[in-house]
Amino acid sequence: MTAAIQALVLGWLDLLRPRVFGVLAAGVALTLALFVALQAAAFWGLRVWGPEAITLPWIGRVPIGEALSWGSLALFPVMSLFLAAPVAAGFAGLFSERVSSTVEAAHGYPAGRELDFLDGLMDSLVVLGAVVLVSVGLLLLTPLVGPLAPVLFYGANGWLLGREFFRMAARRHLDADSAETLRRRRAGAVTALGMGVALLLTIPVLNIVIPVLAAAAFTHLFHLLARAEIARPR
């Protein structure tokens, strides 16, 4: 637990480093650009293909074309609330290599091997899928399990996000089997940090920056746990 808190605090501080902040700014900019493009597509799509009017009993023909197209502007805050985190996570996964290498260089950790763009793309898709599960789970669990929903939600998704982000950080240094062995041995710290990330991902607006924070924090956590393993009595 102490290692998880330490890693999270160090990750927050790293967001101000120029290279990490650049990744953060790029992720936010790409997210907003995608939302603007989707909003524009919805607006013009309704103008071109939406009905101009509807006919109501006793009232007659009622023009609705303008109302529909302008009403689509309400989609922007909805997208910001429900899609910001998974979209930002997808973009952040593409840049996770830069975040990890910057954190390692700044804190004197052993440098990991560089991964190619395809690996970054796969990381992006995996993290995107994990964050989508967080968002969907938040909507589905609450009416089903009542007061237990927060416990199950943050517990399950803390484990899921912890596993995926830890794997991203560890595979720069270890093979898959060794990384999984370390994760299982230190499952408490990994899941605790994952639960912190899951909690932060449910906060609107702030959730846009959390995937980059998670990449930095889990880089710290990997090195803290690896150092503890080396120092552990045999």
Task: Tell me the range of 29-38, 68-77, 103-112, 134-143 where mean pLDDT is highest.
Answer: 103-112
pLDDT given at position 74 = 62
Q: pLDDT for 12-51, tens place per residue?
A: 999 888 888 887 787 778 777 877 777 777 666 656 665 5
pTM attached to this predicted model: 0.75
Give me the helix-helix angle, 187-201 and 210-231, nearest 10°.
Answer: 170
Q: pLDDT for 52-62, tens place per residue?
A: 655 556 665 54
Give the list of residues 6+ apart from residue 158 with CB closer than 8 angstroms, or none: 191, 192, 194, 195, 196, 197, 198
